[in-house]
A and B are shown apart, each in its own frame.
Chain A
Amino acid sequence: MRIEHVGRNPYVEAGRSEVSGEKGTISFAETLKDAIQKLREVERVADEEVERLAKMETTDIHTAMIALERADLTFQLMLQIRNKIISAYEEIMRMQV
């Protein structure tokens, strides 16, 4: 396991760390970026649905509700993932010394 030199912002630096696994490298940065990207996408869809709801454009109420619920769950999931990534990083940092 190679850990690069840590700068002042632990989250940015967490992105630069790499963990070598059997199947290749998994980077914190990729996983985090991916998570945030998915989060943005779901939020966008939910916002669109709510806007259409507010403007009374053609969509069914259950469609909007499902979109909102998906967004909510995805948010929670990504939050958990982010927290796990950060706590994994912190644990690795503790080991360094």
Chain B
Amino acid sequence: MNRQSILSIFVFAVLFSVVFTSCKKEEHQYHSIIDKIEAESKNYQGTNISSEQFISEIEMIEISEDGHTFLIPERKSQIKSYDCNECHSKPINELKGKGHGQKAHWDLTLVHADEKTMNCATCHDESNMNLLKSLTGAKIDFNNSYNSCSQCHSKQFNDWKGGAHGKRIKSWAPPRASLTCVNCHNPHKPSFDSRWPVRFNTQTEEERK
């Protein structure tokens, strides 16, 4: 190998290293955002930001379902006439008719599935009105009413546990606090009516005329 070729190899080596080191930009070191998320979350240590200051005024209970642990609002204290057994001391049939005082929810109608599928006793435990019950008769606490809903709505339940269905309460930060089914859906009429949008942009309308 003569001097000239050694020199040219040296020159190429220097050029090569200059070109390839100078082009490595810090910002574009990942091929895609998913790569970036995977790489940067490997050493995730948690942050100083917490949701606690935003949810401190709401009474919450912690639930754990299939490896997802999070907070949901406590329910029983929000039910207007809980405890139910204060009125429901006798079977419903005996309570019907005159002479039994104030009727709390006489106008309640069930608009949930059809009559063949559901009636009051599908969810409410007739033997103890303070509780709900599952299809097989297992007791369900009002605070955990999502266990009642999840029997049929398993797909929604799955999404809710993960966080794809429903709403977080105020904060994106941990600890996770989410609304439970009955915070949005009326269990006796779970669907929503159509309504008018809250906004109409008159300027846009004007511009597009």
Q: Do A and B bind each other?
A: no
B residues near A, CB below 8 A? Answer: none
A residues near B, CB below 8 A? Answer: none
